[in-house]
Homo-oligomer: A and B are copies of this chain.
Amino acid sequence: MSPVRHQKPMELALGTAQQGHRGANPLVGAILVHGEQVLAVGHHRGAGSPHAERVALSSFAEARARGAHDGVDPAEAVLYTTLEPCRHHGRQPPCTEAILEAGIGTVVYGAPDPTPRAGGGAQVLSAAGLEVIAGVLDEQCRALNHRWLRAQEQGRPFVTVHLAQTLDGRIAAADGSSRWITSAASREHTHTIRERIDAILVGTETALIDDPRLTARTSDGALAARQPLRCVMGLREIPEQALLRDGEPEGHGWRRLATRDPGEALRWLSASEHRGHPVRHVLVEGGARVMAAFFAADLVDEVFVYQAPLILGAGPSSVGDLGITTLRQAPRFVLDSAESGPVRLFGTDVCTHLSPEPYPAGASGTSLTDTPDRSS
């Protein structure tokens, strides 16, 4: 097959990848093809879930068990995957093993796996005699995860932020009242995200004023099965009776990060474990000063804006002063089609899903210690 023939199936794999959600792991899509026939598709559903290649191969195996695809020789099938198959035992077994076990003849992938532990899968497959074609729609496959790649390069967790605000961008009224600006459906979505992340982070001011629990809860208010590490960033002390402590000693269920520097906070978290796993996905929930610090340092990888249909006209804005004085310095974002599309309605609220605008071609990522200048 010519490289052009590979583009269409890879585009399908890219579309499938978008059904996953962003976080600790990259978005990956896989599609198993025989001639013109699509045998199976799969996407990665996030950390702790099977990889896209395994999902597609399992779906193929199940179909065969039901008697479908009887005449297909797996050696003649081609597995397209947007990311090089991994070769390491992490929370999931290596994809290379599954591909070899399934007897697939050809693997076509988009972007190389940049992680030292997981990378090198292509070599393993080639050595086992498979035909391996690399770099099909490489640019699009990299672009799909450009902020995840950046987080990898910087050796830090992936950062998602929430802005839950009025039509005019306020997160509370002048008297501090903020329960509830957003709809129950928006808050429920927030809790599904809290359940899948590793750590949740707010500033000390939010902790003191709102006294949040920072737990992941189901729609009936019960605690979800997975709970994030509850983090407070800032220089003020957290009172004994703060709900986020929940009777646990610091360093267990919750942690205070005594800094105003988001880079430093992320370095601490990178070196932390929670529930026996490294912290690789952080949700920043506010307030305005913490948001501003993350945006100013270009440490935001994904944004959900929950826009509730009311006007306050006063009270704190969702994002504090970034030190930007003129329009061309403003960090810019693009609508993110991953998960369930760029715009969703949650009850009365409009939720917009965004990613930072990719860097211009040729610009390299800065390290955590550099001073980012998005305006240049």
Chain A contacts to B: CB under 8 angstroms? 163, 165-170, 172-175, 177-179, 181, 292, 295-296, 303, 305, 307, 309-314, 317-335, 342-343, 345, 348, 350, 352, 354, 357
Contact = CB atoms under 8 A, between A and B. Distances in A.
B173 A163 contact: no
Contact of A175 (B296, B303, B325, B352): B325
Contacts of A313: 292, 295-296, 317, 319-324
A306 to B, nearest CB: 11
A166 B307 CA distance: 12
Number of copies: 2
Contacts of A332: 309-310
A348 B334 contact: yes
Given A307-B305, A319-B168, A345 B335 contact: yes
B305 A311 contact: no
30 contacts: A163-B168, A167-B305, A169-B169, A172-B327, A173-B324, A173-B330, A174-B326, A175-B325, A175-B326, A178-B327, A179-B327, A181-B327, A292-B313, A296-B313, A305-B307, A307-B307, A310-B332, A312-B322, A312-B330, A313-B317, A313-B321, A313-B322, A314-B321, A314-B322, A314-B325, A317-B317, A335-B350, A342-B345, A343-B350, A350-B350
Contacts of A166: 169, 330
A324 to B, nearest CB: 6
Contacts of A167: 163, 169, 303, 305, 318-319, 333, 352, 354
Contact of A317 (B168, B303, B305, B333): B168
Contacts of A323: 313
A318 to B, nearest CB: 5
Contacts of A354: 167, 309
A67 B32 CA distance: 54
Given A167-B354, A321-B314, A335-B350, A173 B309 contact: no
A171 to B, nearest CB: 10
Nearest to A167: B305
Given A292-B313, A309-B354, A325 B168 contact: no
A219 B312 CA distance: 34
Given A168-B169, A324-B173, A343-B343, A330 B350 contact: no
A177 B305 contact: no
A10 B83 CA distance: 53
A343 B309 CA distance: 13
A177 B352 contact: no
A335 B348 CA distance: 7
